[in-house]
Each structure stands twice: as C-alpha cells, then as structure tokens.
Amino acid sequence: MTPIAILCLSGSVLLIGGGLVASVVALVRRPERADYPDGGTDED
Amino acid sequence: MARAAGGAVGAPREQWTGQVGFIISAIGSAVGLGNIWRFPGVAYENGGGAFLVPYIVALLTAGIPILFLDYAIGHRFRGSAPRSFRRLGGRPLEALGWFQAAIAFAISLYYTAVIAWAASYFVFSFDLRWGDDPGGFFTGEFLQTSDPGFSLDFVPGVLIPLALVWIATLAVLAAGVAKGLQRLNTFALPLLFVGFIVLVVRALFLPGAEVGLNALFTPEWSALADPAVWMAAYSQIFFSLSIAFGIMVTYSSYRARRSNLTGPGLVVAFANSSFEILAGIGVFATLGFFAVQQGVGIDELEGLTGVGLSFITFPAIVAQMPGGPVFGALFFGSLAIAGFTSLVSVLQVVSAAVQEKFGLTRLQATLSIGGAAAVLSVLLFATTNGLNALDVVDNWANNVGVMASAVLTTVLVLWVRRRGEELRRHLNAVSTFQVGRVWTALVGAVVPVVLGAILVTGVVSLVVDGYDVYDRGFLGQFGWGTIVAVVLLTLVLTALPWRRDPDAFTPWPTLPPARSAQQGARR
C-alpha cells in the first residue's frame, strides 16, 4: 500500500474505532446517572 | 389503566431487559445492507480517503444529533412514532409519525426480498451455482427479470425464500421486544461480527488486496471542494444509522424511564461507522483481488455498489477465488443477517404503531400488518418485475420519503413546536453524556438546511432527469406511486380514532416548558 493510503486507513480506524472504544469505556465507567429526577419509576 | 405495547390491558409497556440489550438491538438495526454494499462504493466514488473528512463531519453534526433527537422523542413521550409525535405536538405531528410508519412499511416490502435473495445466494455459494456468468444467472435464471412493468408472473425461486423470510420475521415480531427482537440480536449480531471479521481477514490475504485498499483509501483532496461529495457523506451517514423514520423513536420508547440515552447512543453510532470501515476494507481488498485477476484497474470494474456489487460482482469474484464457496457463504450469510436484524426493526415501527392506535395485541398486529405486508411484498417483488420494482421503490422511499421525513421532523419539532430545549433537557436529565445548545443548533439549523438541500436536489433530479433507464410511466407507478400511497396511508391512519386516548399522559421528568399532550393537541 502507498504511505498516504496507509495514513488514511490508519486515521479512519483510529478516529472511528477510537470513538467506539472511548464511548464504550465511558459507558462502562458510568453506565447510568446517580441522580435521576424524582419519579420515573412507574411505567405508562 | 395502562395498556402495553403488547396490547394486554393492565400490562406494563414492553421493555428491553437492560442497557446492553438495547445497545445490541440498536446496533443490529443500524448495521444493515447499506453498511456492506453502499458505504465502500460511495467512499470510493467520492474522494476515497478524503471522503472520511466529510463522513466524520456528517457523523458528528447530523448522524449523532438526529439519533439523540429520535431517542429523546421516543423516550420522553413513550410510544411508537405516531403516539410519541401526537403527544409532542398534537394531530399534525401525529401525521408525521404515520408518515414515518408508512415509509417503514414500504421499505419492509422490498427489504425482505433482498434478504431472501441473500439467503438463496448463501445456499448457492456452496456449489457456485452462478457458474461463469453471474450477471446472466442473477437477472436471468434466478430472477427471470422481464422488461419494466407490472407483472403477475411469479418466480418460484424467489417466492419460496421470500415466504420463509416473512414467516421468520413475523415469528420474531410476535415474540415481542425482549424475547423476539432482543433475543434475535443477541444471537445474530455476534455471529455477524465474527463471520464478517473472518471474511475481512481472508480478503486481506488475497493477492491484489493492496490494490483495492489503495484505491479506497488514497485521498483525492480536491473532492472536498465538491458540494456533491459532502451531500453524499451526509446521505450515507443518514441512511446508515436507521434515523428519522421511526425506528429509534420506537426502540427508545422501550427503555425504562430511568435510562441513559446519549451514552449508549454514542456506542451505537460509532459501532455502526466502525462496521462501515470494516466493510470498506473487506469489500475493496476483495475487489483488488478481482481487478488483478482480470488485469484491469479498480476504476474499470463495474458494479461497485448495491445489488450489482453483491449479486453480480461478488459471485464473479468468489468463482475465481481459492476457497470461494466458504468466502461466498460468509459474504451472503453476513448480508442476510445484517439485513434481517434491520428488517425486524423496520417492521416493529409499524407493529407498535397499530398496536397503540387500534388497541391490538402484539399477535393481532403482527398477523394483520405482517400478513398484509407479506402479500404486497410477494405481489410486487416475487415476480419477473421484482428487480425493477425494487430498484425504483428503494430510490423513492429513501431519497424522497425518508429524507422528507427527516426535514419535516426537525422543522416541525424544532421550529414550529419549538420543543428543542425541552428535548435537550430531557436528554441531559437522564443521560451521562450531556449535550449543550450546540445540539439544538445542529438539529434545528444544520440538519434541515443540509438535508433539505439534498432532498430538493434529489427531487428536482428525479423530476427533470427521471431515474436510470426506466420510462416515466413506470417511475410514476412504482416511484411517485410509492410516495402517493405513503401520503394516503398517512392521511387515513391519522384520521382514524384512537382506541385509547393518547393524550392522557404526562411527560417525565417535568421540565419547563414541558406541556401536556392535551395542551399540544388543543393548539
């Protein structure tokens, strides 16, 4: 592969894949809020 | 008294079993045929590596913001698209919800046919049944394609797998949200990812793979100055994420009220785009192999997107490849699974809508709506006119129907009803990832302007230039006819009475200027 193609491939994997990893890590660390507003425990 | 989405009086609303179940199901919905057969070709034809710039910009400025908008509407107003929009803005917006459900219904009719084709080709892969003429086999022996025009000449080789796909779809829908949709995705999504990764790794070791990857990822920076490239990026992101036609409104309504929305939304959006990048690598590594085998450049190959890529180009490649039957089975198996997990989400939009409007049980809705859809699907797409009809209906349903739905949603919700701030505060009240006023600006300004431009350009092109080789009469019947049918369905379904008052509802949490749906309905 040419260097510029490798750069674009790596960049896309890092940006998109990095976004996925970062969002998963953030969600694992804090899956839910600790301070929901009052109510919301019933269902319609 | 509560009536569940399942329709049983007194039963609670159906729910995902938890956050992971919702995320897996939402990814299963987003990752569909377009990820595999559309993204790679669109990226290649719109600047290659440079396309990633507008693609990522579109993801951040339109894809994720509209995804959050859908989540907020469905979660806050606790219903299918018609009921959620009714509660948000009264009867005029209920019509928007029915417009979305009607588009979903239209899309399900032909989406099922493509899955049936993919399932058939999965079987054909094992003996490479298309021989040395995949194009002739596909349009001739398999589809028996006739000249464009309504036909009642059924093709048994399509009819039987199509009927089987409908039976499987209705079985999943009848089983419900947790035991049907979520259970299917929990099984199918890992299978899809493992199968597709095996395919991509195999493709990377094919001779000539680097030729394909160079073609896909070498940037043509001048493309960034072309507005058409930016429009292609926004269209790709938009169609890929299953947004703006009721799916994510419906899916988020099945989350418990105390549920994180934006955090899982980011996971879904980036997972969907990651799969697209993976598909781009796999598809173009394979095309590179084929180009080298043929002694031509990638730019000389035909059929780099859609039906042509999947059912003509890929079979031709598989026929020349060592271990081709296994590769073909992996490809068509992936296509069928990705399509099926999206299809059930599309039909859930319709099923949930009629359950709520007419007080039907889940089984009643599945049998009535699914039965009607199955009959129409067979009549339109299991005949010798199936390929022509699918090509045209798909183009109009997406480029006119879904695009109009997105523009109308942002204009009516943000500009006319002015509920953007309320929805933003709803997202922040329940979510871990907070959205600022920039989100309101994106969904209220950037999205309607950009998607509105794409919609107008597309409609003008269809009116002035027509579409492909089809004559005006055929485009009128199957293209504009689809839009007319969607609008008529919208008007009729909006006018019919609700079995149970949808406006007897108070949004949670209470957020000024939250207004009850009764107030909205009175306006």
Which pLDDT belongs to residue B514?
47
Query: For an interface test with A, which of B241, B261, B266 has the most A Cβ atoms less than 10 Å from its Cβ?
Result: B266
| Residue in A with minimal Cα distance to B79 | A44
Which chain A residues have a beta carbon less than 8 Å from that of B13? 43-44
- Cβ-Cβ contacts under 8 Å for B186 (sequence gap 6 or more): B21, B24
Rg for chain A (alpha carbons), in Å?
19
Tell me the mean pLDDT in the region B479-495: 98
What confidence tens digit (pLDDT) does each residue in B338-355 have? 999 999 999 999 999 999
| Residue in B with minimal Cα distance to A30 | B432
Asked if B270 lies within 8 A of A39 by C-beta distance, the reply is: no
Domains and CATH numbers, chain B: 19-511 (1.10.4160.10)
As a whole number of Å, the end-to-end CA separation of chain A is: 57
C-alpha distance from B458 to closest chain A C-alpha (Å): 29
Asked if B263 lies within 8 A of A27 by C-beta distance, the reply is: yes
Distance CA B512, CA B517 (A): 14
Strands (E) in B213-331, as ranges, are none
The answer to whether the predicted template modeling score (pTM) of the entire model surpasses 0.90 is yes
Asked if A9 lies within 8 A of B213 by C-beta distance, the reply is: yes
Asked if B214 lies within 8 A of A17 by C-beta distance, the reply is: no
Q: Is B469 exposed, middle or buried (0-12, 13-18, 19+ CB in 10 A)?
A: exposed
- Whether B157 and B142 have beta carbons less than 8 Å apart is answered as yes
Q: Average pLDDT of chain B? A: 94
Buried b (16+ CB within 10 A) or exposed e, A10-39: ebbeebbbebbeebbeebeeeeebeebeee
Question: A35 CB near a chain B CB, below 8 Å?
Answer: no
Say which residue the tokens 């989350």 belong to: B255
Which pLDDT belongs to residue A42?
67
This model of the complex carries an ipTM of 0.96
- Residue B487 region, left (φ>0) first, then alpha (ψ -120 to 50), else beta? alpha
The confidence band for B77, taking pLDDT boundaries of 50, 70 and 90, is: very high
Q: Return the DSSP state at B5.
A: T
Nearest to B196 by CA among B328, B330, B288, B322: B330
- Whether B367 and B170 have beta carbons less than 8 Å apart is answered as yes
Q: Phi first, then psi: what are they for B48, rounded to 5°?
A: 60, -125
Distance CA B35, CA B241 (A): 9
Question: A16 CB near a chain B CB, below 8 Å?
Answer: yes
What confidence tens digit (pLDDT) does each residue in B155-173 have? 999 999 999 999 999 999 9
Q: Percent of chain B at pLDDT above 90?
A: 94
Which pLDDT belongs to residue A41?
82
C-alpha distance from B271 to closest chain A C-alpha (Å): 6
Q: Return the DSSP state at B394.
A: H
Report how far apart, in Å, the C-alpha atoms of B298 and of each of B44, B213, B295 are.
10, 10, 10
Asked if A2 lies within 8 A of B259 by C-beta distance, the reply is: no
Which pLDDT belongs to residue B12?
78
Per the omega criterion (within 30 degrees of 0), is the bond before B54 cis? no
Which pLDDT belongs to residue B7?
46
User: pLDDT at residue A44 above 60?
Assistant: no
Say which residue the tokens 């400025």 belong to: B61
C-alpha distance from B214 to closest chain A C-alpha (Å): 6
User: pLDDT at residue B3 above 80?
Assistant: no
Q: Is B91 exposed, middle or buried (0-12, 13-18, 19+ CB in 10 A)?
A: middle
User: pLDDT at residue B195 above 80?
Assistant: yes
Distance CA B395, CA B438 (A): 32
Q: Is B112 exposed, middle or buried (0-12, 13-18, 19+ CB in 10 A)?
A: buried
Distance CA B219, CA B281 (A): 15
C-alpha distance from A29 to closest chain B C-alpha (Å): 10
Which chain B residues have a beta carbon less than 8 Å from that of A14? none
Q: Which two tokens stand for residue B27?
A: 């990814």
